[in-house]
Amino acid sequence: MSGGLLQVRVERRHAEAEDICSYELVSADGAELPAFTAGAHIDVHVGPGLVRQYSLCNPPHERHRYLIGVLRDPSSRGGSKVMHDGVRAGATLQISEPKNHFPLADAEQSLLLAGGIGVTPILAMAEALSARGAAFQMHYCARSPERTAFRQRIVEAPFAAQVHFHYDSGDAAQKLDLPALLAQLDRKTHIYLCGPAGFIDHVKAAAKAQDWPHDQLHLEYFGAAAPAADGDQPFEVKLASSGKVYAIPAGTTVLRVLNDAGVFIPASCEQGVCGTCLTRVLDGVPDHRDLYLEESEQAANDQFTPCCSRSKTPTLLLDL
């Protein structure tokens, strides 16, 4: 372990589906890996200055390995390309210990909804719920059977009968009718969803239309669209500790400006998804562009994500 990071070796790499590979990671020194819970992710240092988050998708009781799934994304900012083109079996990587911002609640009934590569944390949840004999059903939406990662593992799992596959490419009858599904669920059911932004927004809208209890909806975005920079205005940030002021030009993030100036803020996804860079705001009104904070948390205006959010006021005073 070096600087809080774990050294792991890629034990094997496997093509799980079209454009999706899994990587089995084991401790480089043969030791047990830190325990994790369903919904957890790790930060993977895929290259110099390149850190990406990947959900753990193996059964959470396992300590001898971590399993991640990586989609080759044409719009990738570098992470998936490096993983697919450069990381083979035998390679060594540095990773963080598992973190979980997407844990399972103690619920009588659970509905697991996965969109595309968002199946990774959902699969670990299915493993955990099955192991404890909990009631759940899982719906997995993908473009086509060829792009459905871990399909064979799922159909051979003890919980296979609780999983339903839905494909964009198939006939209408097999597509997910979310309003109908929600309408027949027990209202005490907790819903877990992970996938791209469009999938998440669709589920949120369907749940809102049926007044689903907000605290029973748990979600994690898998990647996010970059906020549009059109119309961005320059502003300043002031650091409470030193009084120093930094100009933030249009088209450049607070995170980038401060890191370039030697002010280190931990960051990972750089898309406002993970919350790693969350920073306290002492004065000023942030222009929230993240997908991490709840609406009520954004409305409080006492914290923001400097990787993507900006300012509605000329200056933000940061607790740095």
The answer for residues whose C-beta is within 8 angstroms of residue 20's C-beta and 6 or more apart is 69, 70, 71, 72, 117, 147, 149
pLDDT digits (tens, 9 = 90+) for 17-63: 999 999 999 999 999 999 999 999 998 988 777 788 899 999 999 99
Return the minimum-mean-pLDDT range out of 66-80, 121-135, 167-181, 286-300.
66-80
The answer for residues whose C-beta is within 8 angstroms of residue 80's C-beta and 6 or more apart is 52, 70, 71, 72, 73
Over the chain, what is the mean pLDDT? 90
Query: Is the four-CA dihedral 49, 89, 20, 122 of positive or negative sign?
Result: negative
- List the domains of the chain with CATH numbers: 6-95 (2.40.30.10), 109-221 (3.40.50.80), 235-318 (3.10.20.30)
Q: CB atoms < 10 A from the CB of 275, how many?
A: 17
The mean pLDDT value for 185-210 works out to 91
Confidence category of residue 226, pLDDT binned at 50, 70, 90:
very low
C-alpha–C-alpha distance, residues 314 and 306, integer Å: 15
Q: Is residue 235 scored above 70 in pLDDT?
A: yes
CA angle 279-285-291, nearest 5°? 55
Token pair, residue 206, equals: 């369907």
C-alpha–C-alpha distance, residues 284 and 297, integer Å: 15
> Would you say the pTM of this structure is higher than 0.85?
no
The CA-based dihedral angle spanning residues 272, 117, 21, 175, taken in that order and rounded to the nearest 10 degrees: -160
CA angle 128-121-129, nearest 5°? 15
Q: What is the pLDDT of residue 2?
A: 43
Within its chain, how far is the Cα of 22 from the centroid? Answer: 16
Give the residue among 6, 139, 21 at the shortest CA–CA distance from 63: 6
Confidence category of residue 76, pLDDT binned at 50, 70, 90:
low
